[in-house]
């Protein structure tokens, strides 16, 4: 077990660090302090997530490769929220919606080093960011921490902690694009995926929630493993506008491994468990093409699959969904675990 760091460049005259967590076996994770972003996840020598080579690409791009998303992941409709009778106008960075915390979200902030721990069975890194009152329009200051832990069993754990000074919606997730092929010139549509979910949330043309529906008899039934492409019928009214999957699935509870992603090309399997009730399945349908990745490959549509474990999207504005308001002084906590193995 070991951790090391190095310079990754400078942003706004501040140094950006790259931290490397290595379990000395099969798993190595690289994280940069801009956006507390996962830059690379190497399993058995193969990188399994999309990322950029240089800092400028992360600053200039809105792909959210590997980024920590907050204060609220996903879309908030009409770019406003109402808390205790007071309206707050939010940053509108996707039409009239606030997406992933707005123009000034957590993904573009410099996260400060807090601590690192090297143990016999695991190594961890803790970073923090204090979000000021009314940043992107959200009420209250929020003190945020994230803890990344890599252990001897080839598992990455991500823990999120946040405490607001005023009642505020909080939903934090990670936006890694997984590609387990060992070759980023190939898309992920032949990856097999299992999501233990009886229900998903239908979306309107702005990708905002409409209603909860059953997956049975629809392209959204991933209760048994199947290739992502198998039922991805782009003539389906829920897939036509988004050019594929970009939908929330309501996870069945309890389940030790509710999400399983596999590449049969490499035999690499990723099992995800989470404290969160929802996972957003996004297949990089609208990923900008032609961007240069870490090893010189160019971005293409369907190049990575995001499995964003989080709270219900737009919950604060949708009466049919439970809201995500964290009371002043209370602590938000979320944990997602990513276990890599060879089948």
Q: Report, as residue numbers or ranges, the catalytic residues.
A: 175, 308
Helix (H, G, I), strand (E, B) or coil at 293: coil
* Distance, CA of 110 to CA of 182 (rounded, Å): 30
Of the candidates 137, 140, 135, 131, the one whose C-alpha atom is nearest the C-alpha of residue 111 is 131
Residue 171 is classified by DSSP as B
* Distance, CA of 212 to CA of 209 (rounded, Å): 8
Query: Which helix (DSSP H) or strand (DSSP E) does residue 128 occupy?
Result: strand 122-131
Say if CB 145 and CB 161 are below 8 A apart.
yes
Long-range contacts of residues 236-243, Cβ cutoff 8 Å, at least 24 apart: 238/202, 238/203, 241/205, 241/207, 242/203, 242/207, 242/285, 242/286, 243/285, 243/286, 243/301
* Distance, CA of 276 to CA of 255 (rounded, Å): 12
Q: Looking at 166-318, which runs of residues are DSSP E strands?
A: 168-169, 173-174, 192-195, 197-203, 209-214, 226-227, 246-251, 259-263, 268-274, 278-282, 306-310
* Distance, CA of 124 to CA of 137 (rounded, Å): 32
Of the candidates 174, 175, 164, the one whose C-alpha atom is nearest the C-alpha of residue 131 is 164
Sequence-distant (6+) residues with CB within 8 A of 214 are: 198, 199
Query: Which helix (DSSP H) or strand (DSSP E) does residue 148 occupy?
Result: strand 142-151
Which residue matches tokens 């660090």? 17
């Amino acid at each position: 077990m070991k951790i090391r760091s190095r310079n990754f460049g400078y942003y706004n005259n501040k140094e950006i660090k790259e931290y490397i967590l290595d379990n000395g076996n099969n798993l190595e994770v690289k994280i940069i302090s801009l956006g507390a972003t996962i830059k690379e996840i190497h399993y058995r020598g193969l990188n399994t997530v999309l990322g950029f080579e240089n800092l400028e690409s992360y600053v200039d791009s809105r792909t959210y490769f590997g980024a920590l998303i907050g204060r609220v992941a996903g879309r908030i409709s009409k770019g406003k929220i109402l808390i205790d009778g007071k309206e707050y106008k939010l940053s509108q960075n996707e039409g009239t919606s606030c997406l992933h915390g707005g123009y000034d979200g957590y993904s573009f902030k410099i996260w400060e080093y807090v601590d690192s721990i090297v143990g016999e069975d695991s190594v961890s890194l803790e970073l923090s960011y204090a979000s000021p009152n009314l940043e992107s329009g959200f009420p209250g200051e929020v003190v945020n921490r994230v803890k990344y832990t890599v252990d001897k069993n080839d598992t990455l754990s991500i823990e999120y902690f946040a405490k607001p000074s005023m009642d505020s919606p909080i939903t934090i997730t990670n936006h890694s694009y997984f590609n387990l092929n060992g070759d980023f010139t190939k898309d992920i549509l032949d990856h097999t995926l299992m999501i233990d979910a009886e229900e998903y949330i239908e979306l309107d043309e702005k990708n905002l929630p409409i209603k909860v529906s059953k997956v049975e008899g629809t392209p959204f039934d991933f209760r048994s493993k199947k290739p992502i492409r198998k039922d991805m019928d782009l003539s389906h009214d829920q897939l036509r506008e988004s050019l594929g999957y970009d939908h929330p699935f309501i996870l069945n509870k309890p389940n030790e491994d509710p999400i399983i992603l596999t590449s049969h090309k490499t035999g690499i399997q990723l099992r995800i468990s989470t404290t969160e009730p929802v996972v957003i399945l996004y297949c990089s349908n609208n990923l900008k093409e032609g961007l240069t990745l870490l090893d010189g490959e160019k971005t293409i549509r369907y190049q990575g699959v995001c499995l964003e474990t989080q709270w219900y999207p737009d919950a604060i504005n949708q009466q049919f969904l439970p809201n995500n308001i964290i009371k002043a002084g209370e602590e938000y906590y979320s944990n997602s675990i990513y276990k890599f193995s060879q089948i």
